[in-house]
Amino acid sequence: MVVCKATGVSKRYGEVVALDNMNFSLQESEIHYLVGVNGCGKSTLCKIIAGVVAPDAGELEIEGVPVSLMSPNEAKRRGIAVVYQELSLIPQLSIEENIMLGIEPREKSLGLVDRKASTETALHYLGYFKNVLPLDEEYVKQTVADLPIDEQQIVEIAKALARKPKIIIFDEATASLHKQQVDAFFSILRELKSVGVSTIVISHKMEEITEIGDRVTIMRSGKLVNTVAVKDVTGDQVIHMMVGDKELLERKRAHMDFKDVETVFQVNGLTGKRIRDVSFHLKKGEILGLGGLQGQGQTEVLLALFGSIPFEAQSVELGGKPVDLSTTVKAMDHSLAYISGDRKKAGVFSERPIFENIIISSLIKFNRKVFSRKRMNEEILPLLSQIRTTFGKLSDPANSLSGGNQQKIVIGRWLMTKPAILLLDDSMKGIDVGATKEFYDIMHTLCDAGMSVIWHSSEDLELLNNTDRVLVFDSGQIVDELVGERLNEVELYRAALDSRKKHIAVE
C-alpha cells in the first residue's frame, strides 16, 4: 500500500527552482532512502511532506487521501514525524521532559503528570540505544544542554518515536552518530519496519543504503532521476545517477604543473570549531579549491585563516615565515583577503557610496588618515575597469548597482589591499551567469600575475572547472586531494561519500 505519494510537485524560491515536477511514492513499512548532490531538492521534498513548506504545484496524498495546504500540526496529526539535523530540542529541559513534551502521561484524579510512567516511557524509547548510553533514571534527568551533540541527536530520535508516527522522516539524522549508535539506529529502522511504519531517510552514507534500504530515490536539480530497489543497484551506479552526465564539464583553466613553483602559504594542524587537524600548502599562482558536501568545515577554515574565528595550529607559515593570523587586521596586514558570498551581511555597505565601499579596507591596511580623493580615483578607476564593473558615478550608493556589480565592488575593495592570497567563500552565490563567467576570468588573470586563491564553493562544477587542485572535506577533515584528471564530479562525490565508509570502518 502506498502511504505517501507526491505527484508533479514543484517549488520555486525566487529564481531558484528547488523542485521541478517531482514524483515520489512511499510504501507501507518501507525504508526509503533519498539521495542527491548538494541542493538537489531532497530537503524541500521532505518539508512539503511534513507540511512545513507549501508546494507551488502538484498533489500530495497521505494514505490515499489528497491533502492540500497541510499545516505542520496537521501533518503531525496524520502521523508524520521528522527528525531534523538541526535539533528541535529545548536545551534547558531534561531528556525526559523533552521526549515527553506535550504527550505527558497523566494521573486520572488531578491531571498531574504521572512521573513514574513518564520516566518509564522515556527510558523505553531510549531503550534502543541501551548499548551506547548509560541508561537509568538519573540519566534521563540530565539537562539536554549538557549532552554532546550525538546524544542530543539520539534524544531527538526518541522524541519522534514517542509520538508513534506512521511515517517518519530522518533528515541526515545519522550525520553526527558513531558506528555503534548507527547500529542502534538501524535496529530502530528494522523495528519500525516490522510494525508497519514507513521511513524516509536522507543520507550521504552509501553503505547505509545497501545495508538497510529497501528502495532508493535519486534526485538531481529538483527532478526525479530514478526510484529503484536497492538490491538492483550498486553504490557506484547510485553516485553516477546523482551526478549525471560527465560531458557537462567545461573546464576553461588549463592543467598546470605547480611542482617547481614556490610555496607561499603552508598550514599545519589547523584545528578549531568544526575543523580537525587540517594541513595543506598553497603555491604561488595556484587556485586551491575546498570541496565536499556542504558544511564540512570549509567556510570555517577560511574564517579561521582570516582571523574571524579562533583556532589552534601547529604552524601557519607565509612565504616560509611563521605568521600570527589571530585577528582580521593581522590577516589583512599579512596580505590575506576574504570575500564572502553573503554580500548583504558581510560585503557591501549598501547605503554608502561606491567610493567609500572600495577604499575602506585599504585605508585601514595602509593606515591612511588623510587622502586626496583625486589621487584615490586614479587608483580606483583602472581597478574597476580591470574587473569590468559597470557603474554610474563613484558617489552613487552601492545598492544602485546590480548584485554582480556589487560583488565586484567588494572584490575591488580587497584587490586594493594588494592581497597575495585571496580567500573566496562561495563568493558568486546568487549572481547571474554573465557576471560569474567574468569573475572566473578575473581570477584566472590575477593568478597568472602571481596571486594565489583558496576557493570554497557550494557549486561543485564552479569549483572543479576553475581550480588547480581540490581538497575534499568531510566532518572538518581533509579526506582526499583531487588533481589533474581526477578533477571531476564522480571523483569528488566518491571521495566525499567514501570517506564516511572508511571513517566508520575505523571506528
| Site for other proteins, rule CB under 8 A | 72-73, 76, 87-93, 97, 101-102, 104, 110-113, 134, 143, 145-146, 148, 159
The angle at the Cα of 163, spanning 160 to 169, to the nearest 5 degrees, equals 40
Instruction: Give the distance, in angstroms, between the CA of residue 306 and the centroid of all CA atoms in the same chain.
Output: 20
> Closer CB to other proteins, residue 74 or residue 277?
74
Q: How far is the CB of 13 from other proteins (least distance, A)?
A: 20
Angle at 13 between CA 11 and CA 18, to 5 degrees: 50
User: Pick from 204, 76, 97: which is nearest to 141 by CA?
Assistant: 97
Residue 116 grid coordinates: 513514574
Question: Which of 72, 397 has the CB closer to other proteins?
Answer: 72
Complex with other proteins: residue 104 or 438, whichever CB lies closer: 104
Choose between 6 and 87: whose C-beta lies nearer to other proteins.
Answer: 87
Cell readout for 355 is 567610493
Contact 159, 90 (CB under 8 A): no
CB under 8 A, 24+ apart: contacts of 101-107: 101/159, 103/162, 103/163
Q: Are 229 and 210 in contact (CB under 8 A)?
A: no
| In the complex, minimum distance from the CB of residue 154 to other proteins, in angstroms, rounded to a whole number | 14
Q: What is the DSSP letter of 253?
A: S
**Residue (54 or 112) nearer to other proteins, CB:** 112
Neighbour tally for 360: CB within 10 Å: 15
Rg of the chain over CA atoms, in angstroms? 26
> Closest approach of Cβ 144 to other proteins, in Å?
9
Rounded to whole angstroms, the Cα distance separating 211 from 231 reads 10
347: which 3 cell numbers?
560585503
> In the bound complex, what is the minimum distance in angstroms from residue 327's beta carbon to other proteins?
24
**Smaller CB distance to other proteins: residue 71 or 445?**
71
Closest CB 98 distance from other proteins, rounded Å: 8
Least distance in Å: CB of 307 to other proteins? 25
Q: Are strands 469-474 and 477-483 parallel, antiparallel or unpaired?
A: antiparallel
- Considering the complex, state which of residue 139 and residue 440 has its C-beta at the smaller distance from other proteins: 139
Q: Are strands 287-292 and 452-456 parallel, antiparallel or unpaired?
A: parallel
Q: Which is nearer to other proteins, 136 or 448 (CB)?
A: 136
Q: How far is the CB of 235 from other proteins (least distance, A)?
A: 33
Smallest gap from residue 92 Cβ to other proteins (A): 4
- Cβ 137 to other proteins shortest distance, Å: 13
CB 206 within 8 A of CB 496: no
Residue 349 near residue 361, CB atoms below 8 Å: no
For other proteins, the closer CB: 113 or 229: 113
Task: Report d(CA 451, CA 286) in Å as an integer.
Answer: 8
308's grid cell = 574571524
Backbone phi and psi for residue 202, each to the nearest 5 degrees, phi listed first: -95, 125
